[in-house]
Amino acid sequence: MWTYLILISSIVYLFYRWFTSKYDYFIQRGLPAVKPKFPFGNTPAAYTQKRNFYYDLDEIYQSYRKKTPFVGYFEGGTPKLLVISPEIIKEILIKNFSHFHHNEFTEMFNKEADPIFGRNLAVLKGQEWKDKRTEISPAFSNNRLRSLFPLVEDALKSFRNFIVKEIPKNEPFDIREILAKFTTDVVASCIIGVDAQSFTKVKPEIREMGRKYMDFTSSDVQFKMLLLTFFPWIRKFKKISIINKEVNEFFINLMEQAVTMREKSNTKRDDYLSYLIELKKKKNLADIDMAAHGVTFFTDGFETSSLAIAYMLYEIANDKRVQEKLRKQINEELIDENGKIIYEKMLEHEYLDQIFHETLRLHPIIMFFNRECTEEIIFDCNGKDFKIEKGMSVNVPIYSIHRDPDYFVNPTEFVPERFDAENGGVKEFRNRGVLMPFGDGGRICIGMRFALMQSKAAVIEIVRNFELSVNNKTQKPLVLDPKQYMNIKVGGLWLDLKTI
């Protein structure tokens, strides 16, 4: 009996020593660091989910802002850096991008276990990432996006009609869910040329599969990600699938069917699918690569955009001054004599652009992003040289920087006019490295222009046709959902809409 107890105790002790062996990593190198606690390091919420993981990072940021350009901390037993200085952030993302062109979570996915997500641009690295980004970038050109706008207008019509039919029920709208239906219709039309029927079917298949694809909250997925986080060496011996097999097969089959139908019908349509078919012919693109490109477009255009629009409408509903000002400008400047949105003016409209960026300043959809050091480099830290070693993970706390009073006056208030021309506009804040709704540098979001286009169009359509207010069902203050990695709030965003 005692022999077994001693053996077990020895094993536990050795595991503890092994796990905490790096806890003095930053101290040995003379870098400011947060003291970690076994076994979660400095980010217990990532494992306990008692609150959103980002609140842990924000506490570190608030404790060290104005004190150091970056600070060391631990996720479990893994040392990481939190970059606080906008100047250092710009060096990492732009000037020294060649030293930081990988994402840390790249290693969590692979092509064999996750054939689609393993080929997503956000996951790819090295030359393959560069080649695939170059391959797909022309699909997001201004001219091609302009040709896609009629498809967005068709989805807007279904969107508006659905709301009109629902208003008599006198119930609040879960605005994020409705917008997810809208963006699903848009991307389904742009990618595969079909009507996803999000507003006519109770559970449209494309919408449901998209939901599953982006759902990282299930106990199975959470367990796998925790396992790979605590024991990354497992990846060398076993390829663990994160994305549901059914979802992978659905999107692969969907793209194959779409290509077959388009080629058989010989339809000429300047959409995303046509671009992929052209690419397939030029580059001998495999079906799985086409599916991956299609799903990359789907996720960029569906999930993140629906959240961005939802927050825009929430803030507009919450501020009658902004709402009335925007509605007046929409009716006077952005609608032609036939009641249609003037595309070019929509993209260039100053106040609408200010609302968009002020919304994503307060509610960045991705609250932080990560870069992995691919080649060691030396930075100055409080007058001392600090070497960031190859493999070190560096996190950029977008949410915290966007709400830092050193960069934004009254940072928790929604004030689109802070981006007025006399203040330098949006460009001035982006140039300073304190406004990064789409990231920055070589890995800036490739679907940024598409997101801007469909988001602005949706806001115009809603604001010109409906009066908005926030329903009491919306929980205030807004709190980040503990299980979500994107900026999703507990209880949802509920709005009341009334026809004008």
Please, what is the Cα angle at 78 between 75 and 82, to 5 degrees?
60
Task: State the CB neighbour count (10 A cutoff) for residue 74.
Answer: 23
Maximum distance among all Cα pairs of the chain, rounded to whole angstroms: 89
Q: Which candidate, 420, 500, 455, places its Cα nearest to that of 346?
A: 455
Asked whether residue 381 is marked as a ligand-binding residue, the answer is no
Residue 410 lies in a domain: yes
Token pair recorded at residue 471: 């329903």
Residue 35 lies in a domain: yes
Residue 478 lies in a domain: no
What is the three-state SS of the chain?
CHHHHHHHHHHHHHHHHHHCCCCCHHHHCCCCECCCECCCECCCHHHHCCCCHHHHHHHHHHHHCCCCCEEEEEECCEEEEEECCHHHHHHHHHHCHHHCCECHHHHHCCCCCCCCHHHCCCCCCHHHHHHHHHHHHHHHCHHHHHHHHHHHHHHHHHHHHHHHHHHHHCCCEEHHHHHHHHHHHHHHHHHHCCCCCCCCCCCCHHHHHHHHHCCCCCHHHHHHHHHHHHCHHHHHCCCCCCCCHHHHHHHHHHHHHHHHHHHHHCCCCCCHHHHHHHHHHHHCCCHHHHHHHHHHHHHHHHHHHHHHHHHHHHHHHHCHHHHHHHHHHHHHHHECCCCCECHHHHHHCHHHHHHHHHHHHHCCCECCEEEECCCCEEEEECCEEEEECCCCEEEECHHHHHCCCCCCCCCCCCCHHHHCHHHCHHHHHHHCCCCCECECHHHCCCCHHHHHHHHHHHHHHHHHHEEEEECCCCCCCCCECCCCCECCECCCCEEEEEEC
Residue 98 lies in a domain: yes
Q: What is the pLDDT of residue 265?
A: 80
Token pair recorded at residue 448: 């940024």
Residue 440 phi, psi dihedral angles, 5° rounding: -165, 165
Residue 24 lies in a domain: yes
What is the total count of domains within the chain? 1
Residue 54 lies in a domain: yes
Domain that holds residue 21: 1-114+368-436
Range 367-388 burial, b when 16+ CB lie within 10 A, else e:
bbbbbbbbeebebebeeeebeb
Residue 420 lies in a domain: yes
Residue 378 lies in a domain: yes
Q: What is the pLDDT of residue 229?
A: 67
Q: Report the C-alpha gap between 281 and 422 in whole angstroms.
A: 50
Low-confidence stretches of the chain (pLDDT beneath 50): none
Token pair recorded at residue 335: 């609608």
Residue 31, class by beta-carbon neighbours within 10 Å (0-12 exposed, 13-18 middle, 19+ buried)? buried
Q: What is the pLDDT of residue 416?
A: 98
- Taking CA atoms, 41 is separated from 76, 80, 106, 231, 400, in Å, by 5, 10, 22, 15, 20
Q: Which candidate, 228, 258, 252, places its Cα nearest to that of 242?
A: 228
